[in-house]
A and B are shown apart, each in its own frame.
Chain A
Amino acid sequence: MNESVNDIVNSEYKYGFVTDIESDAVPRGLTEDTIRLISKKKNEPSFMLEWRLKAFHHWQTLKDEPTWQNFSYPPIDYQNIIYYSAPKKKPTLNSLDEVDKELLDTYEKLGISITEQKRMSGVAVDAIFDSVSVATTFSEQLSKLGIVFCSFSEAVQKHPELIKKYLGSVVPHTDNFFAALNAAVFSDGSFCFIPKGVKCPMELSTYFRINAAETGQFERTLIVAEEGATVSYLEGCTAPIRDTNQLHAAVVELIALDDAQIKYSTVQNWYAGDKEGRGGIYNFVTKRGKCAGKNSRISWTQVETGSAITWKYPSVVLLGDNSVGEFYSVAVVNNRQIADTGTKMLHIGKNTKSTIISKGISAGRGENTYRGLVKVSPGASNARSYTQCDSMLLGNRCSANTFPYIEVRNNSSSVEHEASTSKIGEDQLFYCKQRGIDTENAISMIVNGFAKEVFKNLPMEFAVEAQKLLGVSLEGSVG
């Protein structure tokens, strides 16, 4: 694409509005007192406070953030972050009538169905506004099946035994710098528990929204699927346009027992910063699933279009024999965005299988890195792993990097990795134009075709949203 490359006026970030809501925040900065205060505000049992403090003390010993990633960012001043911010008028859970009107309007703007009349859509939603869960729909109906779907805070109150058992069991507080920080200060999140033999009848969904300025968002999601249970969970994220960077350091833990299946889908559209790279979310997230039982399956699907920097590797620990891990990813970077994302598949059990499909799209001055680890332990007989990792470059100022790490210690296993890099061909664009399709639509069409293998793993509604998002985030990248 030579002279046909012209910048077109960038479309505005659709979710960049700020909601004017009074919030209840803890003072800026991080000390042991901050943690005690958060725990107190949430009226937590003592085991939670102890757990937080342990994490905090560990975090204090970690002098430095990791440095192995393929990008740099200005130092984060951890004392200049507000670690807890909640809308002041807290709704009584399960009663949406009391939810602040402003808040409901916000979610309407986002197109999230948390109001009663939208029940027909068949998606149960937990809405997280800044640091706390503001509304959870369908809880009652789900509870009849024994399914727990509520905010993390509520789960701590109502199901402390489950929290005690599973919290930190997949991502311990010692896992990494940001996981330690999250464990210390996390304010809310979603909790799902699907009991033995239950197939969750609807998609469970959490919608994350950062609203307040200078806050960090540190939520934690924990999903447990007992023997034979299945669940499909979706998360979506947006944030207002602000010219300073905001840190989002979440932790997600999934646990699948024997024959259980968890499908976790993300459409991440945090504010990405402006064309020059000012502002935007630092999306530093630790996501990991444990296929603890035999024949279990955990599947991650992510569409990453937002954030100034995305840095995460949703992973699967394949502990149970015959367990299956999957990772399907589309990561788009435009303007000055950076993504360093991929997965880890740790084969421990026998006959374990993993599939990794990653599609990276780079435009503008974006930097896109796939980083993945496939590790086959000596005991993982007959493990199979397949990785397909494709990159597409739009324009000549962006980059695409592929760093797969493969470590195999079992000779009955088979690990394959393939990667390719391509561009949108001039001939493809011309062909589309010759059929009357303009450049932007042609690009959107070709890119969506490129990412199709991943989209087909998303639940229908999400797939449509993701496809549109892809088009929007690439607008202005090529003319």
Chain B
Amino acid sequence: MNDTQMKDEYMLEIKNLHASVAGKEILRGINLTVNAGEVHAVMGPNGSGKSTLAQVLAGHPSYEITEGEVIYKGKNLLEMPPEERAKDGVFLAFQYPVEIPGVSNSYFLKAGLNEVRKYRGLETLDALQFLKLLKEKMKIVEMDPSFINRPVNEGFSGGEKKRNEILQMAVLEPTLAILDETDSGLDIDALRIVSEGVNTLKRPDNACIVVTHYQRLLNYIVPDFVHVLVNGRIVKSGGKELALELEANGYDQIKEAATV
């Protein structure tokens, strides 16, 4: 990224973002820009604020923004309620997908999709159209059709929940997808399926932020940029080779460097 790029060409621009939860500051000045077509990996040790960053971008009400701004497609993202952000293409694949008893997966997703389509000025889909779409998308994540009628995430295994997240992403076709530790708790097969799903959905006009603790996922989803988050700040940015470096040396070196 160079200075000649116009500011409003960024898809996402995070400037000096500070956020805290229950009075405790977690993010202490994040700066990050993301362009369409890019994949950014945000890595860092436990407690560094990675998941907070993901949640804050999606508008989780538990976090208080104390300073800074986030511009998304030229709009002030922080002023938008969470559902507005979702309709405008921000998608968060949850680290811990939530269970909603009694509400079927298909009903839930259809409600979401039709809201998104209305926002984008598209016709809403009826049940049949939606089912057709859903079945297509389910192939991407190799999901069993029986999941359609099961309650949202209820009784799903860890891997099934994560696949369900990617399925939702495939259906909602976000502009900016944020994957929060999507690799945690996945076995190697599930990891492959989830990653392939993400790669299939990659397009020149969308972008992806992959939040992860381990380099492992980045073997499957190759990032254009890697950022290392320590103690609520990005302390180092680089290309995909940075992830390998972290894998070899661990976070300690960087942590030390950061505290100096």
Smallest CB–CB gap between B143 and chain A, Å? Answer: 17
Taking a contact as CB atoms under 8 Å apart, the answer to whether B100 and A431 are in contact is: yes
Closest 9 CB pairs of A and B: A449-B102, A435-B112, A449-B103, A433-B82, A436-B115, A452-B102, A431-B98, A436-B86, A433-B83
Taking a contact as CB atoms under 8 Å apart, the answer to whether A435 and B107 are in contact is: no
For B88, the closest partner residue in chain A by CB is A436
A432 part of interface (Cβ distance < 8 Å): yes
Pick out which of these stretches binds chain A: B55-63, B70-78, B249-257.
Answer: B55-63
For B90, the closest partner residue in chain A by CB is A434
Taking a contact as CB atoms under 8 Å apart, the answer to whether A449 and B101 are in contact is: yes
Pick out which of these stretches binds chain B: A194-202, A341-349, A437-445.
Answer: A437-445
B233 part of interface (Cβ distance < 8 Å): no
Give the interface of B toward A (CB within 8 A).
Answer: 58-62, 81-83, 85-87, 91-92, 94, 97-103, 107-109, 111-113, 115-116, 119, 151, 168, 172
Give the chain B neighbours of A445 by CB distance below 8 A: 100, 103, 107-108, 111
Known contacts A4-B61, A436-B115, A436-B172; is-contact A430 B82 (Cβ 8 Å): yes
Taking a contact as CB atoms under 8 Å apart, the answer to whether A431 and B97 are in contact is: yes
Query: When chains A and B are docked, how far (Å) is the Cα of A441 from the Cα of B108?
Result: 10
Taking a contact as CB atoms under 8 Å apart, the answer to whether A427 and B98 are in contact is: yes
Taking a contact as CB atoms under 8 Å apart, the answer to whether A434 and B91 are in contact is: yes
Give the chain B neighbours of A449 by CB distance below 8 A: 100-103, 151
Interface membership of chain A positions 125-162, coded 1 if the CB is closer than 8 angstroms to chain B and 0 otherwise? 00000000000000000000000000000000000000
A428 part of interface (Cβ distance < 8 Å): yes
Smallest CB–CB gap between A439 and chain B, Å? Answer: 8
Query: When chains A and B are docked, how far (Å) is the Cα of A2 from the Cα of B22?
Result: 13
A465 part of interface (Cβ distance < 8 Å): no
Give the chain A neighbours of B103 by CB distance below 8 A: 445-446, 448-449, 452
Give the chain B neighbours of A276 by CB distance below 8 A: none
Query: When chains A and B are docked, how far (Å) is the Cα of A430 from the Cα of B55?
Result: 10
Known contacts A434-B91, A438-B115; is-contact A428 B109 (Cβ 8 Å): no
Query: When chains A and B are docked, how far (Å) is the Cα of A32 from the Cα of B182?
Result: 76
Counting chain B CB atoms within 10 Å of each CB, which of A434, A437, A438 scores highest? A434
Counting chain A CB atoms within 10 Å of each CB, which of B59, B102, B108, B116 scores highest? B102
Taking a contact as CB atoms under 8 Å apart, the answer to whether B83 and A437 are in contact is: yes
Give the chain A neighbours of B60 by CB distance below 8 A: 430
Could you name 7 residue pairs across A and B whose Cβ atoms are closer than 8 Å? Answer: A430-B82, A432-B83, A432-B112, A434-B83, A436-B86, A448-B103, A449-B102
Give the chain A neighbours of B91 by CB distance below 8 A: 434
Interface membership of chain A positions 65-102, coded 1 if the CB is closer than 8 angstroms to chain B and 0 otherwise? 00000000000000000000000000000000000000
Give the chain A neighbours of B100 by CB distance below 8 A: 428, 431-432, 445-446, 449
Taking a contact as CB atoms under 8 Å apart, the answer to whether B87 and A436 are in contact is: yes
Give the chain B neighbours of A453 by CB distance below 8 A: 102
A425 part of interface (Cβ distance < 8 Å): yes
Taking a contact as CB atoms under 8 Å apart, the answer to whether A437 and B115 are in contact is: yes
Interface membership of chain A positions 1-38, coded 1 if the CB is closer than 8 angstroms to chain B and 0 otherwise? 01110000000000000000000000000000000000
A461 part of interface (Cβ distance < 8 Å): no
Given contacts A438-B83, A445-B108, A448-B103, 12 further A-B contacts (CB under 8 A): A2-B61, A4-B61, A428-B98, A433-B86, A436-B83, A436-B113, A438-B115, A441-B115, A449-B102, A449-B151, A450-B101, A453-B102
Query: When chains A and B are docked, how far (Å) is the Cα of A439 from the Cα of B91?
Result: 17
Smallest CB–CB gap between B29 and chain A, Å? Answer: 25
For A453, the closest partner residue in chain B by CB is B102
